[in-house]
Structure 1
Amino acid sequence: MRLAITHRTRYDFEEPVVHALQRLRLTPKSTSGQSVIEWKMTMEGARCELEYEDHNCNTTALLSVEPGVRQVEIECRGVIDTDDQAGVIGRHAGHLPIWHFAGQSSLTKPGSAMKSLVSGLSADRDRLQMLHELSSRVADCVKYETGFTTSETTAEEAVAAGHGVCQDHAHIFIGCARHIGVPARYVSGYLKMDDRTMQEAGHAWAEAFVPELGWVGFDISNGISPDARYVRVATGQDYKEAAPITGMSFGSNDDRVSVELEVMQQTVAQ
């Protein structure tokens, strides 16, 4: 499947900015199941100071905002070819050992609610089947609904609330998997919707390590393993390590963020 993606993020500042830095993880790589045909990032009101590969092998750009601006716009536009590999990414690669993804973070650390959620599950069972069951349990106990959580909400808090979004589903799944001894990681990226091309935000899911297969993806919110509609952009121990945009600013008391995202299928010429 050939997917065309346009992702535009705009910051409107109440007061002129004195100083601001942004870290961007918005550039997908050619990897198992996807090939980047083209990808370009442009910006207004800011400039790229440095581009590098972080410890999770994510392409990362550091931006500085031009002093005195009141608006910054970042646009990514590209074309990706994807294949349906039933969510299987394959062997582990990169700078970090697998055991790094077995340790909990502040966002994934389980409490009593999450520990109860994994009751009866064991990594000694058929691991793939067990992980699909875990995915179903998470979706059943945490209804997908916006407005109840933020990027700072922990997995345990989302379980207790009973509401959340894809980020929360991924954190809960990851924390539960790690609790029973399965390495797991967070994935941020894009999903082509079947009913529309315009979206309000990107998507998030989880990957867990299955010895005979390697890394395997689980989209808890949609109850499937990622297929050709998905584009992986960044991975990490949790959202903080794979967030599309993070940063800080000085000199403005308030800012508004708006996102325009279009993911659509293109016809491939024969």
Structure 2
Amino acid sequence: MKLRIFHQTVYRYDRPVRNLVQSLRLTPSVFEGQRAHDWAIDVSGGIRGPGFRDGAGDWIEGWTVRGPTEEVTVTVTGRVETRDAAGVLRGHRELIHPLAYGRDTAATKPDAGLRELAATVTDPADALDLAHRLSAAVSDAIAYAPGQTEFHTTAAEALAQGQGVCQDHAHALAAVARLRDLPARYVSGYLHSRAEGEAHEAAHAWTEIHVQGLGWVGFDPANRCCPDERYVRLGSGLDASDAAPIRGIAAGQGIETLHVAVNVEEVERFQNQSQSQTQS
């Protein structure tokens, strides 16, 4: 599948900030399942710093904005070719050992409810079967309900509420997988979810679980599937904060507000629509 992506994040401050430093994890991962073309990142008024590939295989760029400024816009555009690899992350170069993803964070720390959920899967055929069944258990336990949780909601809190969004599903699956001795990590990216190909908001998150002999395998409890050609992978971490596409700090007393717009279009569909409009 050929996808065109537009991702814009606007930071506004009620008072001018003196300067802003950001670390951006906004470049698609390099592996057999996807390839990026014409990928561009722009920060309004920003100065691009050094970039590097970290131990997890993610490309990180540093940017600095010198103020005073009341608004900063981060814009990402580009095209990505994807293919269905049944969720298996093949050809992704990284240095961190999978066992490093066995530890919990504040967002994924297990409580009695998560421990009980992890224990519901009994007599799995193998590690892959266990991972699939844990993902299904999370899907059943947490209903998809936008607006009912916040960025700082933990996996335990989302499970107790019985509802949440993709971030909550990803945190909860990471938590229960680790309880069953399966290394797991949070993944950030994009999702093209409409078959008709129209643009829509599509920032997304899912979980990767390391299966011995197979490697990292993606699971998306929010959609009850493994990532396929509709998914674009950006980066990973122990939780949403660790895998955040944008991290930064502003020098000043201004209160920050945030607006995010993400559109994912199928390129061939977009081109066909443009040709039809031209001919008419």
Normalising by structure 1, we get a TM-score of 0.92
Percent of residue pairs identical: 37
Instruction: Give the Cα–Cα distance (whole angstroms) in 2 for the partners of residues 116 and 196 of structure 1.
Output: 40
> Quick check: 1:150 aligned with 2:150?
yes
**More moved, 148-157 vs 118-127:** 118-127
> Quick check: 1:177 aligned with 2:187?
no
Identify the residue that residue 218 of structure 2 maps to in structure 1: 217
Contact 1:188–1:233 (8 Å) recurs in 2: yes
CA drift of 1:124 comes to: 6.1
Instruction: Give the Cα–Cα distance (whole angstroms) in 2 for the partners of residues 120 and 200 of structure 1.
Output: 34
Contact 2:7–2:75 (8 Å) recurs in 1: yes
Identify the residue that residue 127 of structure 1 maps to in structure 2: 127
| Amino acid in the other structure paired with 1:105 | T
**More moved, 124-133 vs 157-166:** 124-133
Contact 1:92–1:215 (8 Å) recurs in 2: no
Instruction: Give the Cα–Cα distance (whole angstroms) in 1 for the partners of residues 123 and 46 of structure 2.
Output: 47
Provide, for residues 190-243 of structure 1, a one-character-per-residue CA deviation record: whole Å limited to 9, x for no partner.
101216644445100001111232111101100000110001000112112210
Identify the residue that residue 13 of structure 2 maps to in structure 1: 13
| Amino acid in the other structure paired with 1:61 | E
Contact 2:57–2:93 (8 Å) recurs in 1: no
Gap runs ≥5 in structure 1: none
Q: 1:43 to 1:211 in 2, by over 3 A?
A: same
Provide, for residues 93-121 of structure 1, a one-character-per-residue CA deviation record: whole Å limited to 9, x for no partner.
41211110122222212110100111243
> Quick check: 1:53 aligned with 2:53?
yes
CA drift of 1:173 comes to: 0.2
Q: Secondary structure of the residue that 1:67 maps to in structure 2?
A: strand
Identify the residue that residue 229 of structure 2 maps to in structure 1: 228
Instruction: Give the Cα–Cα distance (whole angstroms) in 1 for the partners of residues 45 and 67 of structure 2.
Output: 9
- Number of aligned pairs? 269
Q: 1:83 to 1:196 in 2, by over 3 A?
A: closer
Instruction: Give the Cα–Cα distance (whole angstroms) in 2 for the partners of residues 49 and 251 of structure 1.
Output: 21
CA RMSD of aligned residues (A): 2.0
CA drift of 1:77 comes to: 0.7
Provide, for residues 223-270 of structure 1, a one-character-per-residue CA deviation record: whole Å limited to 9, x for no partner.
00011000100011211221011222232431221112110111299x
Instruction: Give the Cα–Cα distance (whole angstroms) in 2 for the partners of residues 197 and 72 of structure 1.
Output: 28
Contact 1:9–1:75 (8 Å) recurs in 2: yes
Gap runs ≥5 in structure 2: 272-280
Which portions of structure 1, spanning 4 or more consecutive aligned residues, are displaced by more than 3 angstroms? 90-93, 122-125, 195-201
Normalising by structure 2, we get a TM-score of 0.89
